[in-house]
Amino acid sequence: MKRTCFTLLIFTTIFSAVTYGQDCLANAKIESPLSNVSLSRLCQRLDFYYEVGADPDFGKTYDVLLEKPAEGREKYIEQRKKERDVGRSVDFAPFSLTGGYDESPQYWVMSCITVSERHPGRSYTYTDIVIAHWVNGDWYFSNFGEPAENERCHRPIS
């Protein structure tokens, strides 16, 4: 009985880790898929980039940036903590990944970003594009910004 429970626990843990990262791409259209890159790792690192959750780890956010801010890691973390609105949460849902190559394999990731603020109790959604770069066996991100013509995700402040 103990062995069965232990085996089930190990299987569940591994299955959760493998499928976790793929959930963010469940509804995404993937154009020109890249080979030899990890899409599950892409989703995990997008969580850090978009500071998902009520209490994000800004150190991990800094770590996934392709180009590090000049002020350095500690100042970056300090500044992000000051800017972070208490009770603010972010969620993202990628809807399009377009693969390509520049200096390294990369994806242009288009996502719907939803920001919810407990105080004053509002939320809004917008479209964002980030470029995911596969460098030295992991994903790093640079921001492209909000496309001017894309209204797919737009939901005004409510």
Domain ranges within the chain, ordered by starting residue:
2-145
pLDDT > 90 in the chain, percent: 39
Q: Residue 134: pLDDT above 90?
A: yes
Q: Residue 29: pLDDT above 60?
A: yes
* Exposed / middle / buried, residue 45 (Cβ in 10 Å: 0-12, 13-18, 19+): buried
pLDDT > 70 in the chain, percent: 80
What is the band of 86 on the pLDDT scale with cuts at 50, 70, 90? low
Q: Which of 40-44, 52-56, 142-146 has the lowest mean pLDDT?
A: 52-56
Q: Residue 19: pLDDT above 60?
A: no
Predicted confidence at residue 85, as pLDDT, reads 65
Task: Give the separation between CA 109 and CA 116, rounded to whole angstroms.
Answer: 21
Q: Residue 11: pLDDT above 60?
A: no
Predicted confidence at residue 1, as pLDDT, reads 52
Which architecture does CATH list for 2-145? Roll (3.10)
What is the band of 158 on the pLDDT scale with cuts at 50, 70, 90? low
Q: Residue 45: pLDDT above 90?
A: yes
Q: Which of 59-63, 101-105, 144-148 has the lowest mean pLDDT?
A: 144-148
Instruction: Give the pair of three-digit tokens for residue 85.
Output: 């609105």
- Supply angle C-alpha 58, 29, 90, rounded to 5: 25
Q: Residue 13: pLDDT above 50?
A: no
Element (H, E) at 142: strand 138-145
DSSP 65-117: BSS--TT-HHHHHHHHHHHPPTTEEEEEEEEEEEEEESSSEEEEEEEEEEEEE
